[in-house]
Structures are given as structure tokens and as C-alpha cells.
Amino acid sequence: MPISKRNPFDYGGPVSGPHFAGRHDELTAVTRRLADHIGVVVTAPRRYGKSSLIKEACARLTASTPGSAIVSVNLLQTSSLAAVSGVLLKNLYHVPGGPWHRLAQVLPGFLRRVRVQPSVTFDSSGQPTFNFSPSMTLDSAVEIISDVYQLLDKIGEKHPAVLVFDEFQVVADLSSHLPGLLKGLADEHRRVSLVLSGSKHHLMESLVLSKGAPLYNMLEHVALGPLPKDDWLPFLLARARAGGSPFADESVADVVWQMSGPVPFDVQKLAYESFAQADGVISRAIVIRSVETLVRHQASDFAKTFEKLSPGQRRVLKFLAAGTTLSTGSSEFAGSAGLANATSVRKTLRALEDAELVVGRENGPVVDDPSFAAWLRLPGGNHD
């Protein structure tokens, strides 16, 4: 395939626009709530498209309502309160509806609106980045977040205003006080839609979803499940055809869905590799070869992950990857997996779920990553 031919599939990070598939009901619900200044919490396992859903909802909001203000930060990518504060200020500065953009001296006008003054550096295009000392105190971070809320609330008088904390489950690693702070600010600034997302359900329960959690009953909960095949197949067929290397027929697109699970990231990843390997039509043989390529590319990482597990965890993973139909609560499952009883199985599965190696599905737990599952099924016993 000519290298100039652009791949129509994208799995490298949050997607939007033509790369976004399905989720019509959830997308409509989130977009409408943001337009009405209602907060939302989106939960799902990794790679199910939480960030993509929020990104697409915000994109549609700004397209339908010019002047909407979106400020977001991914807490997994910020290792300190100083980093969070810097990202929030940078994204707020670039909000198109910010009143500071109407001033002759834009940057000084913006900085006058925040109580804790950052150091400012400029990138190659002349855009400012705001930096704070790594030893920044909680009180200073609180002032920055409060100022961001206040400025967004002002914009919210005329336009939708949204503050997004992606991967919120890691907030306690930054400060145990932040959830309570956000509750107070959300109560005070009702014209700002607070949006949270998280992949570890038990942590999101303790922070947002359970009675007694700091943010309990404040946000509309949207839980994402696997994306149905009926949403995937039209998307896969249309994207491949538009890219110039169509699937041989619908059954081949179905193979992509069957072999990569119903998870958006994994389906797009296999579709991307299949398109990349095709010189013309994407056949079933190309899809199978693409699976083998993805497994080979990640084999070293899979081996390192596998080596860190206990013998019992390894056996359960391999048993699940083989596609057992036994109930995990049965004595037959415990015996086949080499564990003492159903209690041992439950403890092992909980540890694997906490490590995000196993995820619960409608028919029971499965290996989370289909490429890892394929590696576990390799013959020869080279990962026992």
C-alpha cells in the first residue's frame, strides 16, 4: 500500500469526528446536559472510549453553540498539583470566549484574573505555557482551581462552560482534599458543567458514586458498556471504503469485531493494522495476519507482565484466554485452573481485575486485551 494513503482508523488516543463510532444515545445525553449546565460522570473500563465520548460531546457542543468554553485536564498525565494548575491555566487562556482576548494586552489581562502568578514560557509558535513550582502548596492550587471555576462561571452567563477532569480516579494521589473542594466549587458555580471520567470503578464509587462519597449525587452518571456489533460493522465498512481499501465483504469486518472484542480501542487498532497491511481489498487472511503482527509487536511486554504474576494468576489467565465455558464459581473451574476452591478463584480474579488484566463481561470475566489473550493461546508453553 502506498505510504501516502492515509489510514482511516485511529486508536492512538481519544477520537472525535469521523473517527468516532456509535454511542448515539450516550453522546446525545452528555451533549444536552453540558448545554444545560449539568455535570456528568462517565465510567467504563480502559479503552471503552470515555475520553472519546467526552471529546466528541464537547466538539459537538462548540459546533452547535459558538462561544462555549471547554477546559480539561487528564489527571493521569499530571503528576502534581503544580502540573494540574499549569494545564488548567493554559487551557483556560486559549478558551475562545475568554474576555481577556478582547484586550490589547491579552496575556497581562489574563494574568490579572488569577491570584497565584505563574512563571510564563513560550513555545516555538509564541503561545504561553504557565508553570508553577513543584513544591506548590495545596492552598495555592485551591486558589488556581477556584479562579478557573470563577472565570468559567462568568463565561457561563451567556454560553455553556465545561470543566473536565479525565481519569479522575487518581485524584487522591494528588490530594485527598480535591474532591471536597470540587463539590464546594460546583455548588457555588452552577453555570459550569463539571465532567469527570474514571476507569477504576471501585475508586469512582468511593469518590463519586456511592452514598457518602464527596461528590455523591451531584453528577449524572453515564456508564459505558461494550460497543455493539451493529454499531461497529457500518462504521468499519464505511471507513475502509472511504480510505480506498474496502473489506472484501461484511463477514471480514465481522472477523475484526470478533477477534478484537467489543472494545472501541481494540477494534480500531486491529482495523488500523488490517488496513495498513492491505494492498487493495482487506481479506480475512489479512485480518488474521494483522492479529499475529500485533501479538508479535507486544510479545516482550506481555512476557514481562506475565512473569510478574503468581502461578495461580497465570493459570487463571490462560484458562480464560482459552475460552472456557465453566462458571468461575464452580469447583470445575477451580480444579481446571489449579486452585483450591471458588474462594481462591474469586481472590485471584479480583487481583487480576485490579491489575486491569481481566474485565467482567455479560458472560463472565475475560482477558481484557485481546492481543494479550492471543499471546496466551500461543502453542509451545513458552509462557508457563
Sign, CA dihedral 76-82-84-89, equals negative
Whether 5 has a pLDDT exceeding 50, the answer reads: yes
pLDDT of residue 384: 53
Q: Work out the pLDDT band at 31, boundaries 50, 70, 90.
A: very high
Q: What is the DSSP string of 7-44?
A: PS---SS---GGG----HHHHHHHHHHHHTT--EEEE-
Q: How far apart are CA 325 and CA 323, in angstroms?
A: 7
pLDDT of residue 1: 44
Q: How many CA atoms lie within 13 A of 180 on its CB side?
A: 5
For residues 43-58, average pLDDT: 93
Write phi, then psi, for 117 (nearest 5 degrees): -85, 125
| % of the chain exceeding 70 in pLDDT | 98
Q: What does the CA dihedral 232, 233, 234, 240 come to, rounded to 10 degrees?
A: 100
pLDDT of residue 143: 95
Q: At what angle are helices 250-260 and 229-243 packed, to 10 degrees? A: 120
Beta carbons within 10 angstroms of residue 258's beta carbon: 13
Task: For the chain, give the mean pLDDT.
Answer: 92
Give tens-digit pLDDT for 203-249: 899 999 999 999 999 999 999 988 888 889 999 999 999 999 999 99
pLDDT of residue 381: 52
Write phi, then psi, for 291 (nearest 5 degrees): -60, -45
If 0-12 CB within 10 Å is exposed, 13-18 middle and 19+ buried, where does residue 9 land? buried
Q: Work out the pLDDT band at 4, boundaries 50, 70, 90.
A: low
Q: Where are the alpha helices (DSSP H) in 261-376?
A: 264-277, 284-307, 311-321, 331-336, 342-354, 370-376
Give tens-digit pLDDT for 284-309: 999 999 999 999 999 999 999 999 99
Give tens-digit pLDDT for 326-370: 899 999 999 988 899 999 999 999 999 989 899 888 888 999 999
The answer to whether the beta carbons of residues 238 and 342 sit under 8 Å apart is no
Whether 106 has a pLDDT exceeding 80, the answer reads: yes
**Cα-to-chain-centroid distance, residue 115:** 32
Its pTM stands at: 0.88
For residues 2-22, average pLDDT: 85
The answer to whether the beta carbons of residues 31 and 57 sit under 8 Å apart is yes
pLDDT of residue 120: 96
pLDDT of residue 187: 93
Report the amino acid identity of residue 51.
S
Q: Work out the pLDDT band at 83, boundaries 50, 70, 90.
A: very high
pLDDT of residue 12: 84
**Which domains, ranges and CATH numbers included, belong to the chain?**
23-223 (3.40.50.300), 229-376 (1.10.10)
